[in-house]
Structure 1
Amino acid sequence: MVTISGDGEDPHELEQLLAMLKENRGFDFSGYKRSTLMRRIGRRMAAVGLGTFGEYRDFLEVQPEEYAALFDNLLINVTGFFRDAPAWKALAERVVPELIGVGPPARPIRVWSAGCSTGEEAYTLAMVLAEVLGVDGFRDRVKIYATDLDEAALQTARAGAYSERKIRDVPAELRARYFEQLQSNYVFRRDLRRQVIFGRNDLTKDAPISRVDLLVVRNTLMYFNAETQANILRRMHFALNDSGFIFLGKAEMLLNHGDWFEPVDLRKRLFHKLPRRSRSPRLALDDAAGENAARAAQIRAAALAAGPVAQLALDTEDNLVVANTQAETLFKLHPMDVGRPFQDLEVSFRPVELRSIIERVKQELRPVELQHVEWQRSAPAEVCVLDVVVGPLFDGGHGLIGVGISFNDVTRYSRLHDELEHANEELERAYQELQSLNEELETTNEELQSTNEELETTNEELQSTNEELETMNEELQSTNDELQEINDALRVRTGELDAANAFLASVLQSLGTAVIVVDDKLRVTVWSQGAEDLWGLRADEAHGQHLLGLDIGLPVREVAPLVHRALEPGRTGRAGLTVDAINRRGRSVRLRVEASLLSDNGAAQGVILIANHAGSRGASAAAGPDGSRAAPPLVEKSAVEKPAVED
């Protein structure tokens, strides 16, 4: 179990885990409070049964689906419509009218909702502004930029569809005016939805949205440490217009940044931007300078303006002082931009973020080079490559007086370099392919030679096999003739066996109504058709059964002594008795049962039992129990071998 307080855990392992998240998934949590990170990561570690950050890092490498669950814990999307309703009311009554009153009547109003989560606050802003401006005014003037780090939350926000539970805090009249019910969900109006733009933005490193009139960042800063909060607020101060406002959450304050923002309503967390004073550049030359110095300065200015490399110069307050002709053309700068704060210009963050680099140069007092910066230009539409150098500018006493920025267009050289690398790669690939083809050709020749030898060997083997097949064919023909002779003999034997069976069936039929043959163990070996008709038991059911175990209408217990006497040594002739029996129809019949020994060369093989209706004898006994003639019996071949019946 992870120790949430950090005791027993190696902080270095936590930093390694955060570095892996940044490298593998692009999420930089280094600015978050360590206690918050440890608590939330600890929940996931407990859920998967791990005890250290190192083990959890290894688990993420083998179970990449765990990233989604971890980010759901780290990027908590707690939001709602009109969350903290009194604060929204203060925003609508005190801030929005002041925003609308600044500048011309048709001036566009830009709003940034940072950390928008699933979009509820962005749509709340839209409803508040639409109520004050009217729907038409909202469509014509307002753009709301809603950003977040969680792409899944942004997908939900873009859909603009919410369940009845999530929309319950929206007043009924606003719900009816701004939402359309679609099945069980409520969808924000499509005509107003176009004014809300959702996108991904990392507050800790991505460029902020500039020229914003209202910035809403509620309960987001609380997750960052003090240093990161200061960095984010500096970016937000830059993003706001001089007359802009910032709207924070209940858990956030700006106590340490009073030089950037002043409270409008401290309890409701509404603040107004304090613009930083900018100094106008000193453009005039010293009146005491002579005509030659003025001429030299004019030449230097002309040379700078005509230089082939785009160059900018800023003073120590980050105001634009100089922009040569190449820079004005490249970045569409106007002479009136000279003197403006550099952060208000698009070139400060496009093609590359320069504001943080400028601060770094001013602190370290050494140049910073950025190579191979790709920039997608809009007019003309092309991709150009720049080498950017940001360096400090010093006066004669080596004091810092500003920062110089040079943009060297190396697009042509970059393309030539890429083409050369591509050509070298193609040449190397072609050489490798040629070498591979030569090796394959040599291998193929060896394989063909081997195949040719194998074919010659196979030809010899096939010839030998053909001779063997001819010999086998002759042997098969001879075997076929022998089988034909055997079949003819079997056919003759089968005919003889059929005749013997027919004769035996006639003999059994003539002996009596029912004939049963048992072996010396009293197991049934022959069960005649008359016995089947008399007692209803089939021959296949009776065969092999013990005579005394048969459940039929014959009283076998009375017949048993007769059978045992017949098996006595030296006994000859036929003994009999009359018994009362029941036929297969359940009717009582009186039967005369006679038993005689079945022997082979004097050795007892079993007993023949003959049952006739009392008063019948011989051939007349062949009639069935109902007076009908019985069909010839189907006799087991083993039961008719050498019957020996004694009269």
Structure 2
Amino acid sequence: MNEQIEPATDEGFEAILDYLKETRGFDFTGYKRSSLMRRVGRRMSVISCEDYGDYLDHLQANSDEFGALFNTILINVTNFFRDPDAWDYLQSDIVPMILAERSPDDQIRVWSAGCASGEEAYSLAIVLAESLGLEQFRQRVKIYATDVDEEALAQARQAAYTAKDLEDLPSEYVQRYFEHTAGRYVFHKDLRRSVIFGRNDLVQDAPISRIDLLVCRNTLMYFTADTQTNILRKLHFALVPRGVLFMGKAEMLLSHSRIFDPVNLRYRIFRKVPTGIQNTSPFGHPLIPERRSSLEQVDELRALTFDSNPVAQVVVTADDALALANQQAQQIFTLTDRDIGRPLRDLEISYRPVELRPYIEQVRMERRAVRVKDVEWQRGPGEVLALELHISPLISLSDDIVGVSVVFHDVTTNHRLLAELATANRQRENAYEELQSTTEELETTNEELQSTVEELETTNEELQSTNEELETTNEELQSTNDELQTINNTLRDRTSELDDVNEFLESVLTSLRAGVVVVNQQMRVVAWNAGAEDLWGLRSEEAEGEHLLNLDIGLPVAELRPVVRPALADASFTEQVVLEAVNRRGRSVTVRIACGALRNRRGESAGAILVMETLDGISDALPDVKQGTARGDGDRR
């Protein structure tokens, strides 16, 4: 990685870094100053701090500010299968190569350094589960996912993501590896046990050891060149011999070629160079320059070493001839020295226990190792061998394939013991992880209970306040009820008075022998006394509410219009008319009708009063009586 010139540092800024290291245990002195100063400045602008000294005072006085600053510095940008082409290459070429170089029961240890919220770690789990199968994945794989951000690790342990987080993930992966629960997608619990999350500071903490595949993508870019060198030494130590390092597209490793060799520079995949070996092929195989050995019998030693190998091995030349077969291979496959040099197709080993030639051709074409698992061979009556074949290309210094090595691992004898040990280890690890998970759940439950207690206390206070308010409301309602009772008594008294007034008015109208009719401004009858009923034979309930001119009685009511209309308009109007009519007994009578305005308290006309009497037997004082009655009624109204 090319070094960049750091900007001039500031004593106040360095004081902030020293304070963070001393009080919080986080050492950011190895980070690039330009990135750090930009992110600290962003936080300072949020709280309106002018210089680093003021911000340091703010940090010392406000403990909550550290969390906000930490989240600003450690920007966790991640998603599933970030840079898909690189992940496709990892799945199609690198993982099969790693598996082919290990025995069927070897544990596969993977480290995701800088895992953030867990997407990278679960992407690795999906890749390995696809290559091994779910059962083998659960038995053999351990993925260690680390970060310095505790908040991000807590989120990663939940393994719960939104639909937007999974939008770039193939639908078959979503269906196979996630459960849809409460609107979120949760990684399957039985596979989740193989992923272990923990805090690790790449700058200060010791690395995890014996790692087969180490993924550290877009993390070193935040550190200075010297810090990157120290971290890379730790990553080199963490890997097993020929272990694989998978980095981000922004990280080149060009200055560290002495400890890592590129497998694919485009996708930033490297292999560990064992200590003391400086040159390797593009595919990670050590290339030892030819030199004259000081040992006189080196060829004999090589032959004896190959021949005494307890694992059966044969070597096929580039033109498909059997070049070498060690003693174990000769014994198992009944080969002899006469078979050396013969074409492979003429030998039984070419098709038994498995068809070898297609795999050998695949190794030559793809220039990578191939592993063939679960091969069962009926060697003899009642004797069944379980074999696993490792087929690897032999590459010369000129990068040519000069042959192919085929190793036959006999996994029959120790298969059951290894399976039992693996089961016991898995159960122990599962028990530990379940214990850890239970501890985390208990801590979470304790926090939830504490929160519930606080909520109940708050609710109790709110209920107490509500009770006081209800008591106050009850007192107000009691006061209102007393007021309503007083109003009710007043209304009852007024109703009684009105009843007396109505009774008085009714008695006045009843006492008058003349017929009295009262109409409103619409000329509708509002009063019809007994005299009118006796005169015309129409009861009060039949007349009241009807229009005066629509009454069907012996009186020619149409001729009353010229008399009534002026009374409705003029409060001082009075007039008398004499009409011929027929009474209720069917007799012709002469009726004198006096009409006057019905005046309200303001002296305005509110209707008209008509007083009707036949002229037979009327005293000379009758007109005065009728006019007086009309005026008296009007005054009373």
Which range, TM-score by smaller chain? 0.3 to 0.5
TM-score by length of 2: 0.43
What TM-score results when the alignment is normalised by the length of structure 1? 0.43
